[in-house]
Structure 1
Amino acid sequence: MLIPHPLLGLRDAQEFTYLGDARLIDRPNGMAENAAEAFHDYVYLRDNPAGVHRELWFHEQGDRSWLIVTRDTTTHEILGAELARDVALTRRGALSEGGAQA
């Protein structure tokens, strides 16, 4: 399986480590009133979807970047990849513009 790295082009999936659902970059606020419950859900509850899914991959044997890879779990077709840093910064900016806390 080849992963289209946004900076390095097509890379073999063996260079990467799969880390799970891309929602892991949305870490709960440890200072929130319901922090214990939020962290329980964050650590232990996962979806296992069939179909298109966004996943977190680490380029361990390359530039050590974190990617969000969009993949169809039924066919293993890679539909795209983005730097996780860029996704997180975009979300943070959108939250700030909407008045919510990042």
Structure 2
Amino acid sequence: MSTTLKAKFDTRREAEMTVERLVQEQGIERTDIFITTDGADNSVGDEKAGSDTEGKDPTPESRDDAALEGKIVVSVDIADDARAAEVKAAFKEFDASDIQG
């Protein structure tokens, strides 16, 4: 029986790190992982992180146009319910909120 697990992340970086953990260490296929926004607008999350933050010298002038329009949602389809705990652990490792499934 297939199960879908979902979680929300404050930053795009946290969502991306979670996906890499699931793919590289848990062997989940990328085609079973979906990333979207928590709403209709384009968003990089609620907080700046990674390339959305100011860099060290020498860099171009800092930008202030990150699309902070809502959380990032990661959902994972798994066929084996026993793997749910592993997926939820990865969500928690990268500070997910509102974990469902």
TM-score with structure 2 setting the length: 0.28
Structure with more strand by fraction: 1
TM-score under structure 1 length normalisation: 0.27
- Higher normalized contact order (CA 8 Å, seq sep 6+, divided by chain length): 2
